[in-house]
Amino acid sequence: MTTVAAKPATMAQALTRALRDAMAADPGVHVLGEDVGALGGVFRVTDGLAAEFGEDRCTDTPLAEAGILGTAVGMAMYGLRPVVEMQFDAFAYPAFEQVVSHVTKMRNRTRGKMPLPLTIRVPYGGGIGGVEHHSDSSEAYYMATPGLHVVTPATVADAYGLLRASIASDDPVVFLEPKRLYWSKDAWNPQEPAPVEPIGRAVVRRPGRSATLITYGPSLVVCMEAAEAARAEGWDLEVVDLRSLVPFDDETVCASVRRTGRAVVVHESGSFGGPGGEIAARVTERCFHHLEAPVLRVAGFDIPYPPPMLERHHLPGVDRILDAVGRLQWEAES
Amino acid sequence: MTVMEQRGAYRPTPPPAWQPRTDPAPLLPDAEPYRVLGTEAAGQADPDLLRTLYARLVSGRRYNAQATALTKQGRLAVYPSSTGQEACEVAAALALEERDWLFPSYRDTLAVVARGVDPVEALTLLRGDWHTGYDPYEHRVAPLSTPLATQLPHAVGLAHAARLKGDDVVALAMVGDGGTSEGDFHEALNFAAVWQAPVVFLVQNNGFAISVPLAKQTAAPSLAHKAVGYGMPGRLVDGNDAAAVHEVLSDAVRHARAGGGPTLVEAVTYRVEAHTNADDATRYRGDAEVETWRRHDPIDLLQRELTERGLLDEDGVRAAREDAETMAADLRARMNQDPRLDPMDLFAHVYAEPTPQLREQRDLLRAELAAEAESGAAEGGHR
Ligand SMILES: Cc1ncc(C[n+]2csc(CCOP(=O)(O)OP(=O)(O)O)c2C)c(N)n1
């Protein structure tokens, strides 16, 4: 067998490849959503699937998110593995009733008799200059609903691996795609894609000794940049990429925080009632005696997502992260 | 004292008792879209109205071209053009009285402008400097709605409230063909019919929802047919015939104002340009279809009628174009100025009173901005 060298690929390409491979491997995998057929999705993630697998396997639906997810529930009930595409974060809300009332509860209501193996792909987050309703970070809503897995890749390899794992999962998965990373490139070998790891493992992207940045999805890139910049100020930052918000990898996160003694959680969505609160509480409960400072959060403001011309002030940037890192030199109040 | 008694002006008029409809026939739309231009009915049309419609169409077309050009210069984040659909946009707005309300969809900037909203303010959403640039109460225009069909129940509620207060206000709610598949569309129609709310729903059927053709959106003979099941009349009109759209909508508005309840109007038109400047229409449709529709252009149709009837000469055409050019030049000049934005506005209107948490965040941003200013960081200096 000739080996193909790793070439740069975008996250969108890796996602397409994951869908294609999953559909080829299992005839029960069906893709449905708005504009997923001839157009290949507005982000082209489903490009070519309708041509290769036919319109019954990759289906342009009527424009109705509740209908898309609701019918996917029925398809999953009958043994298929639907993968639905929600066009943008804020347009998934009409389907939220299906998420909350049925998708997350079906296994439980039926005492395990009716699991729902379905994947809900949601492009999410800002930083792409989109007008309102195109930049929401909706992960907290999904995290707060028991019965769902919530995963989000930050690298090209993870985009492939996590999507394959999500489709293979016997439970419903909300697969959050950081849309500003769609066109980010990594060297990636489609012939030898990273092994599909089970959902729920965080990974240390950058080892360090003085503090841990805990992050995921679109904020990973910013955190890596901040870690580089922090070197000049004598900070050696470790960066943990969660990859999965539900289930949550306490082990990897806490092992890191125990090593470094300090932690900052970074994400785009608002801090009040946001993912960072949960993460900070977990870390505090488990690592209290190792902590040299409170766990801090650097998040988007608690405001409706702002218009594009102001979004740079809203999104956590390198400076805001470095400020928080500075505050980790905590001194107990006298 | 009850709330009702407190408000002297509150004049509740309960909706008429629900009458089961035994004969759906009067509700059914005609098989063919209603036309005026090029038919005998055109003789009855008011010449002044036709000339006004013409001037507005020419201006609307120019507005679409200008806004599209502004996206290429990076002055607009995105622009969903309504080129080819100007007759629906303009005639819809002109069918309303001043006291009426418009509930536009994200493509309906032209209808918003036709209501009297400043063209620049109508574009702030698409420019990206604020979500809604105009005061909805000033011209009775709700914010342009990006999530599809979600504004339709609002239109029903507002019209219902006006009626309860004894005001003869009508709400016109606009939606695309794709939007008719959303649950909100169906719930809005049902509420409107049950409450006999003074609402007119205008569906601009332009053939596509982004890439998805109508045939994949509905199996109904027409979108106007959807009205019948809810118990309201459905009307089918040629959306490129400004006189016909105006007549049908005016009838529906009159009917609603007189207490006759809602109407669903489907205007059959075509989206000549791509979905937005960011869309590649060649992926889902061929040129031949577009060309057919270009030959059924709303401006040409009206111009031909006016010219044949001696209501418009070359000078008139030139004058309309010149006015449109002036509008475009003004729009261009004003859009080319950088908007002045205050980042502190992020916190200005989240609540009537900011929460303590928001005040903290406001202080953080203020400190960041001060530090930025001090370090003389130029634009882009912020990381
Ligand atoms: C609830 C919701 N889902 C999806 C979208 C994304 N989207 C924006 S425009 C559009 C197509 C709309 O088609 P149609 O209703 O026919 O209106 P047109 O664009 O043709 O004017 C879609 C799917 C949205 N804005 N809102």
Ligand 1 atom with the smallest distance to the CA of B206 is 20
Q: How far is the CA of B107 from the centre of ligand 1 (A)?
A: 9
pLDDT of residue B2: 45
The answer to whether residue B4 scores a pLDDT higher than 60 is no
- Per-residue pLDDT at B8 exceeds 80: no
Fold classification of A203-327 is Rossmann fold (3.40.50)
Beta bridge partners of A246: A150
DSSP 8-state code for residue B95: T
| DSSP H/E element including A183 | none
Which residue in A174, A127, A179, A156 sits closest to A315, CA to CA? A127
Q: What is the pLDDT of residues B333-380, one digit of tens each?
A: 999 999 889 999 999 999 999 999 999 999 999 999 999 999 875 555
The number of beta carbons lying within 10 Å of the beta carbon of residue A196 is 17
Q: How far apart are CA A317 and CA A295, in angstroms?
A: 18
Please report where in the chains the tokens 């207060």 appear, as a residue: B165
- The torsion angles phi and psi of A229, rounded to 5 degrees, stand at -65, -30
Closest listed residue to residue B91, CA positions, set B306, B213, B265, B221: B265
Distances (CA, A) of A221 to A187, A225, A308, A317: 16, 6, 20, 10
Please answer whether residues A10 and A184 qualify as being in contact, where contact means their C-beta atoms are separated by less than 8 angstroms: yes
* Rounded distance between C-alpha atoms, residue B139 and residue B102, angstroms: 9
| Beta carbons of A273 and A242 less than 8 angstroms apart | no
Going by C-alpha positions, the residue among B117, B273, B105 that lies closest to residue B203 is B105
Q: Which two tokens stand for residue B296?
A: 């059924």
Tokens representing residue B18 in the block:
């629900």
Segment A297-331, tens digit of pLDDT: 999 999 999 999 999 999 999 999 999 999 998 77
CA distance B88 to B84: 9
Averaged over A17-37, what is the pLDDT? 97
Which of the residues B115, B235, B246, B271 is marked catalytic? Answer: B271
Q: B182 alpha carbon to ligand 1 midpoint, in Å?
A: 10
Structural domain boundaries in chain A: 10-188, 203-327
What is the per-residue pLDDT for B24? Answer: 84
- Structure confidence at residue A334 (pLDDT): 43
Q: Which residue of B has its CA nearest to A70?
A: B183
Is the beta carbon of B216 within 6 A of some atom in ligand 1?
no
Residues 159-218 of B with CB under 8 A from A: 178-179, 181-184, 209-212, 216-218
Give B116-150 pLDDT, tens digit per residue.
Answer: 999 999 999 999 999 999 999 999 999 999 999 99
- Vertex B282, ends B279 and B288: CA angle to 5°? 130
Interface of B with A in 211-230 (CB under 8 A): 211-212, 216-218
The pLDDT value recorded for residue B208 is 97
Residue A111 CA to residue A106 CA, distance in Å, equals 8
Q: How far apart are CA B308 and CA B13, in angstroms?
A: 48
User: Residue A145: CB partners within 8 Å, gap ≥ 6?
Assistant: A99, A100, A104
A212/A261 Cα distance (integer angstroms): 8
Long-range contacts of B70-73 (CB under 8 A, 24+ apart): B70/B332, B70/B335, B71/B277, B72/B277, B73/B336
Tens digit of each residue's pLDDT (9 = 90 or more) over A119-133: 999 999 999 999 999
What is the pTM (predicted TM-score) of this model? Answer: 0.94
Closest CA to A249 of A206, A197, A296: A197
For the stretch B269-306, what's the b/e string if a residue is b when 16 or more beta carbons lie within 10 angstroms of its beta carbon? bbbbbbbbbebebeebbeeeebeebeeebbbebbbebb
What pLDDT sits at residue B1? 42
C-beta B269 within 6 A of ligand 1: no
Specify the DSSP class assigned to residue A109: H
pLDDT score, position A191: 77
Quote the mean pLDDT of chain B: 93
Q: Using CB atoms, which residue from B128, B212, B368 is nearest to A60? A: B212
Instruction: Tell me the best of B83, B145, B148 to mutate to test the pocket of ligand 1, counting ligand atoms within 8 Å of each CB and taking the most.
Output: B148
* Per-residue pLDDT at B223: 98
More confident residue, B308 or A1: B308
Determine which of A85, A86, A310, A315 to mutate to test the interface with B (most B C-beta atoms within 10 Å).
A310
Mean pLDDT throughout B325-329?
A: 98
Mean pLDDT, rounded, for B264-280 = 95
The reported pLDDT for the residue numbered B19 is 67
Distance CA B320, CA B314 (A): 10
Q: At what angle do helices B298-308 and B242-257 cross, to 10 degrees?
A: 100
Distance, CA of B353 to CA of A247 (rounded, Å): 37
Please state, in angstroms and rounded to a whole number, the distance separating the CA atoms of residues A268 and A207: 23
Residue reference for tokens 């130029």: B378
pLDDT above 60 (res B5): no
What the block records as the tokens of B220 is 């109904």
Q: Would you call B346 and A317 a contact, using CB atoms and an 8 Å cutoff?
A: no
Q: How many CB atoms lie within 10 A of CB A309?
A: 18
Q: Is the CB of B4 under 6 A from ligand 1?
A: no
Confidence at residue B383, expressed as pLDDT on a 0 to 100 scale: 46
pLDDT band at B22 (very low <50, low <70, confident <90, very high): confident
pLDDT per residue over A150-181, tens digit each? 999 999 999 999 999 999 999 999 999 999 99
Its ipTM equals 0.93
Q: Is the per-residue pLDDT at A140 higher than 60?
A: yes
pLDDT greater than 90 at residue B322: yes
Which residue has tokens 């290949």?
Answer: A40
Rounded to 5 degrees, φ, ψ at B138 are: -65, -45
Q: Best residue in B181, B275, B340, B358 to probe A by mutation, most A CBs within 10 Å?
A: B181
Tell me whether B125 touches chain A (CB under 8 Å): yes
Neighbours of B97 (CB within 10 A): 11
Contact status, residue B153 vs residue B127, Cβ threshold 8 Å: no
Q: What is the pLDDT of residue B3?
A: 43
Q: State what percent of residues in chain A have pLDDT above 70.
A: 98
Eight-class DSSP state of A99:
I
Asked if residues A153 and A121 have their Cβ atoms less than 8 Å apart, the reply is: no
Report pLDDT for B210: 97
Predicted pLDDT at A192: 76
Q: What b-and-e string marks burial along A272-299, b requiring 16 or more CB atoms within 10 Å of the CB?
A: bebbbbbbbebbeebbeeebebebbbbb
Contact B235, B263 (CB under 8 A): yes
| Mean pLDDT (whole number) for A202-208 | 98
pLDDT at B376: 77
Cβ contact A295:A284 at 8 Å: yes
According to the model, what pLDDT value does residue B106 have? Answer: 96
Sign of CA dihedral B257, B259, B260, B266: positive
Q: What is the residue type of A3?
A: T
Q: What is the DSSP string of B174-232?
A: EEETGGGGSHHHHHHHHHHHHHT--EEEEEEE-SEETTEEGGGT--SS-STTHHHHHTS
d(CA A233, CA A245): 31
Tell whether A1 lies on the interface with B, counting CB pairs under 8 A: no
CATH topology of domain A10-188: Rossmann fold (3.40.50)
> Which ligand 1 atom is the nearest neighbour of the CA of B107?
21
Quote the tokens at residue A221.
């890139």
Q: What is the average pLDDT value for chain A, to the nearest integer? A: 95
Residue-wise pLDDT for B25-62, tens only, equals 889 999 999 999 999 999 999 999 999 999 999 999 99
Q: What is the pLDDT of residues A209-266, one digit of tens each?
A: 999 999 999 999 999 999 999 999 999 999 999 999 999 999 999 999 999 999 999 9
Q: Are B60 and B110 in contact (CB under 8 A)?
A: yes
